[in-house]
Amino acid sequence: MKRFVIGVVLSFAAYAQQLETFDAVWKTVADKHWNPKQLEALPGGGSWEGLRESYRQRVQAANGQAEVRSILREMVAKIGKSHYAIAGLELKGTKGMRQGGGTAPGFRVGLVEGKVVVTGLSPGMTSVGMGWELLGVDGMPVIKTIEAAETLQTGLRLHQMLQTQIGGFSGQVVAYDFVTAAGVKKTVRVTIPQGDGSAGFGFVQGMNVQREFALIGKTKDIGYFRLDMFLDVVRVLPQFQKAIEQCAKCRGFVIDLRGNPGGVAVMANAMSGWFIKDSDVKLGTMYQRGVELKFAVIPRLNGFEGPLAILVDGASASTSEIMAGGLQDLKRARIFGTRTAGAALPSIIETLPNGDLFQFAVANYVSESGKELEGVGVKPDVEVAHTLAALRAGKDRPIEATINWIYANPVSTRRP
């Protein structure tokens, strides 16, 4: 009898928590969405107020946290914007897909001409070659298609899926099955490198932010800084400053934001300050409910005055788009690569009553030229993508395009 009573009490508590979680999600959107008018007419029809009761009843009848999460994901998807997500504590990916750790193995992959191939190598990676096709990881085939048809941010979703499959934990040995550029099948065991410490912000923790500075070009006089995520402010910004200082006499500078899904938004402002001379310059404007915030850039002393190129692709999102789009609009940077993800809304992550995380957008973002980046992305000035032939010859066509442009434009571009 006692067990029955405890069971009833626990069930009631779980049920109450399910509804509390629903109410938290519904009310947060109702109270904090930056434009209440958009909630009155959702993209697929109906209104946020109108869908409340039916979804609440479904959550009421749901059998467990996983089902509640699924219902809530469906509900927030009705808003039709990026940066709305419900995350459970356990990872749930595509069926049969390897769930690796958060550290990259020392190479990067992308989908090129229908194949998952190596598109970049970290300094010191010599056991894998550019353009090698990746077939499997730790005996599991690489999955390269997205289950549900998505017309929004497909490049970003796919990139995230691929990174999840190839990643590992520092010190772990992972087996990768390749077909080399010469057409030979080869398994390479890679020890996942140690990062220089984990980074994070708020509920996003344990990230290993990959960044790299090098001098490139035939005379090694072009600065190149790659950043795979806008996190780890404490390490990344001083390193970026050092890169700028080292590059005082460089002919040009390239910032590689390909595959960078975003992060701490003000890092875009901070990094942009090294390329701007004037005061009262902004990358764009953020519109919250009742508040407009300028994404101001504070000009730094002794910044870089030469030509600036920024590399982007379909997996460059959020803060990457704010930076690339803003500097493009200011005519300070020339953008190379492929159109970005179109997922540029500032967002917050909070904990729900059931312990899940709820990410929600708190503002709209409009770039300096007046363009909304959400759903549209940044269109490069020079559209250039990888090809299999170039990769197999060890060439990165987008980087080469930036180098050629810089050498052809030795005079500083306008530095606002």
Residues lying near other proteins in the complex (CB under 8 A) are found at 32, 199-203, 231-234, 237, 264, 266-267, 269-270, 273, 279, 288-298, 300-301, 348-351, 362-363
> For residue 205, what is the DSSP state?
E
> For residue 103, what is the DSSP state?
B
Residue with tokens 């190839």: 166
* Cα atoms found within 13 Å of the Cα of residue 374, Cβ hemisphere only: 19
H helices of 261-313, in order, are 266-272
Query: Letter for the amino acid at 42?
Result: L
Q: Hey, what are 307's tokens?
A: 């030509």
Q: Which is nearer to other proteins, 102 or 141 (CB)?
A: 102
Strand 333-337: give its sheet, edge to edge. 211-216, 222-227, 252-256, 308-312, 333-337, 382-383
Q: To the nearest whole angstrom, how small is the minimum distance from the Cβ of residue 325 to other proteins?
A: 18
Q: To the nearest whole angstrom, how small is the minimum distance from the Cβ of residue 305 to other proteins?
A: 15
> For residue 274, what is the DSSP state?
G
Give me the DSSP letters along 228-244: SSB--HHHHHHHHHHHH
Q: Which is nearer to other proteins, 316 or 347 (CB)?
A: 347
Q: To the nearest whole angstrom, how small is the minimum distance from the Cβ of residue 285 to other proteins?
A: 8
Q: Which is nearer to other proteins, 57 or 351 (CB)?
A: 351
> For residue 412, what is the DSSP state?
P
Q: To the nearest whole angstrom, how small is the minimum distance from the Cβ of residue 79 to other proteins?
A: 15
Q: To the nearest whole angstrom, how small is the minimum distance from the Cβ of residue 99 to other proteins?
A: 23
Q: Which is nearer to other proteins, 347 or 402 (CB)?
A: 347
Q: Which is nearer to other proteins, 327 or 403 (CB)?
A: 327
Q: To the nearest whole angstrom, how small is the minimum distance from the Cβ of residue 366 to other proteins?
A: 13
Q: Are 72 and 21 in contact (CB under 8 A)?
A: yes
Q: Which is nearer to other proteins, 322 or 363 (CB)?
A: 363
Q: Say how many C-beta atoms besides its own lie within 10 A of residue 73's C-beta.
A: 15
